[in-house]
Structure 1
Amino acid sequence: MSLVNVRKVKLDVEESWHEGGPRQNEPLRVAVATAIVANPFAGKYEPNLLPFMAELRALGSDLAARLVVELGRGNVQAYGKGAIVGEDGELEHGAVWHEAGGWAMREALGDPKAIVPSAKTIGGVGTRLMVPLGHIQASYVRSHFGTCEVTVWDGPRRGEIAFALAMATGGRIHSRLGGLAASEIKGEDGLR
């Protein structure tokens, strides 16, 4: 029997044209795919979470594929991931998403170098989580430090987890605070 039992999947897509400055020629598109999954360990301590993490790779692949279809693989410049664990779970139940979700996005995007930023929390139905975004090839690209929101109106319930992946077609609109520019990425170590 599978440890991954999905109740629902939600796909959010946001388009931003400006932040008070000049209207952009193309919008910044940010997409978030979220799955509400039964927590097989709700209310109890499980010493070995690795089988759950391994099974979540398939869910990660599904969510990443949905995002790539929505945004176009060649258009994705930033990514992030997050988990909201229902009240009967523990943070470690959300941490299984670090490897499963991160691996899935790297696989879908052709193995980018930068770490996938992440956030997780414990919360009830309708909890909002701000997920950090960063450039897919170099973590020091300041213009691509951003956030996106993960929320599902009826989840996660006490015995569920919301697992989310996010991708964006660029950095912040009107970014002008210096740092490493995306055009200057060397791509050697995921940092610069």
Structure 2
Amino acid sequence: MTSYDIRKTQISVETIWHERGPRLAQPLRVGTALAIIRNPFAGRYEPDLMAFQAELRELGRTLAAELVHALGGNDKIEAYGKGMIVGEDGELEHAAVWHEAGGWAMREILGQPKAIVPAAKTVGGIGTRLMVPLGHIEAAYVRSHFSTAEMTIWDGPRRDEIAFGLVMATGGRPHARIGGLAASDISVHDGQR
């Protein structure tokens, strides 16, 4: 038995062929997976959120597995991030539980990549649009993979809900050309370079 109730989930995949430059041989695919849950702490202060965070690991596993499947498998994923939107009767700390639960789940399914999982969180109402940062899964300094994915759902989160989301991409920005560490040059394997 969990302390949360899922109202709905959503998987969304964008297929990008170009950004006004040459057409890509293989399109970039950017996906979001999110769940809208009832916030068990809406309208009140809860001093201990650790049990809630632990329970959310299963939700993270489910969303991560569905998103990887939608994008074509583990070997296709090059970038990731996570996002959270807390409805107005909650607090930002209710979103922070997803840092461990969502990030841990993505790392588990992707074979323990080293780079930090970028994140964005906010408090907002129905239809809030959150731009979630993306970064390369193995090295944070790979500039070509600095990007964003939009996380939104038309009817959530409601005042007493939380939207937890994961984002993944099959590559970096189309036509990336600003230098920096290339994905093919990752050599230190420390999560940075």
TM (norm. structure 1) is 0.99
Unaligned runs of 5+ in 2: none
Q: For residue 111 of structure 1, what is the aligned residue in structure 2?
A: 112
Instruction: Determine the C-alpha separation between the residues in 2 that align with 1:60 and 1:107.
Output: 10
Distance 1:187 1:69, change over 3 A: farther
Cα deviations across residues 2-56 of structure 1 (Å, max 9, x unaligned)? Answer: 2121100001100000001000011000010010011000000000000000000
Aligned-partner Cα distance in 1 for 2:110–2:188:
15
1:119-138 CA distance string (max 9 Å, x none): 00000000000000000000
1:135 paired residue number: 136
Shift in CA distance, 12/187, structure 1 to aligned 2, threshold 3 Å: farther
SS at structure 2 position matched to 1:96: helix
Rounded Cα–Cα distance in structure 1 between residues aligned with 2:3 and 2:32? 23
1:183 counterpart SS class? helix
Aligned to 1:91: 92
Amino acid at match of 1:142: R
- Unmatched tracts of structure 1, length 5 or more: none
Is 1:17 the counterpart of 2:17? The answer is yes
Show the counterpart of 2:28.
28
Structure 1 vs Structure 2 CA RMSD: 0.7
Partner of 2:52: 52
When the two structures are aligned, how many residues end up with a matched partner?
A: 192
- 1 CA distance for matches of 2:78 and 2:188? 13
Secondary structure of the structure 2 residue equivalent to 1:30: strand
Alignment-derived partner of residue 41 in structure 1? 41
Quick check: 1:124 aligned with 2:125?
Answer: yes
Runs of 4+ with >3 A deviation: none
